[in-house]
Amino acid sequence: MKKGAYAVIFSNRLRDPAPGYDDTKDRILALAEIQPGYLGHMAVRDADRMGVTVSYWESEDAIKAWKAQAEHATARRMGREKFYEWFRLEVCRIERFYDFEAGR
Amino acid sequence: MKKGAYAVIFSNRLRDPAPGYDDTKDRILALAEIQPGYLGHMAVRDADRMGVTVSYWESEDAIKAWKAQAEHATARRMGREKFYEWFRLEVCRIERFYDFEAGR
């Protein structure tokens, strides 16, 4: 990712069960990908239902517009009411970055 | 976490196998926890060997001191040579945050 871009770190634990979560997640990721200013994401969930999703955005304004997107707002309410035991969300400005690929 | 603190987002995929990884990881996390300026971390790895570890730090200076810690420097070299297919590391400043706990 690039310096000056923003990362949104979403750490969470799913409830067990969390009916409807997978469909909602797929829909919201598809919407994020067509949202202005979206730069990409990385999502990992382990067998203990702990997850981290990091999404990357051009600017704080892009993050605010995404937060206000109607279907995303509905999904976030479902997240609080139905899907998550807890979550934490941090909006961060990327100061520097480094990457590595074996054998490159 | 708190505004003005720093998050280091470490996204990666482990090799298969990655002998020695678990012991090294446990040792490095134990060292991080006694490092000045360390505020906490969250680590998730899925069944496909994809992982995200977010560590939190008081300042950029604390991150630089941790990077220079001798045993950590050795472990990072082992990471490149033995453990990871690829990784990405982003150093970010936390601008704002939000958390949620069900039933709270």
Say if residues B45 and B70 touch (Cβ distance below 8 Å). Answer: no
Phi/psi at A67 (5° precision): -60, -35
Q: Which of A45, A80, A96 sits opposite B46 (nearest CB)?
A: A45
Minimum-distance CB partner of B93 among A80, A88, A95: A95
Q: How much is the pLDDT for A85?
A: 98
What is the pLDDT tens value at each position of chain B, 104 positions in all? 778 999 999 999 999 999 999 999 999 999 999 999 999 999 999 999 999 999 999 999 999 999 999 999 999 999 999 999 999 999 999 999 999 999 87
End-to-end CA distance of chain A: 18
Which residue in B3, B16, B52 has the most chain A C-beta atoms within 10 A of its own C-beta, making it the best mutation to test that interface?
B52
> What is the tens place of the pLDDT at every residue in A61-102?
999 999 999 999 999 999 999 999 999 999 999 999 999 999
Q: B1 in helix, strand or coil?
A: coil
Cα(A95)–Cα(A77) distance, rounded to whole angstroms? 31
Q: Are strands A38-45 and A50-57 parallel, antiparallel or unpaired?
A: antiparallel
pTM: 0.96
- Which residues make Cβ contacts (< 8 Å) with residue B46, sequence separation at least 6? A44, A45, A46
Encode pLDDT of A23-67 as tens digits.
Answer: 999 999 999 999 999 999 999 999 999 999 999 999 999 999 999
What is B29-87 written as a DSSP string? HHHHHTSTTEEEEEEEE-TTSEEEEEEEES-HHHHHHHHH-HHHHHHHHHIIIIIEEEE
Quote the CA–CA distance of B26 and B5 in Å, as a whole number.
24
ipTM computed for the complex: 0.95
| Neighboring chain A residues of B54 at a CB cutoff of 8 Å | 9, 11, 52, 54
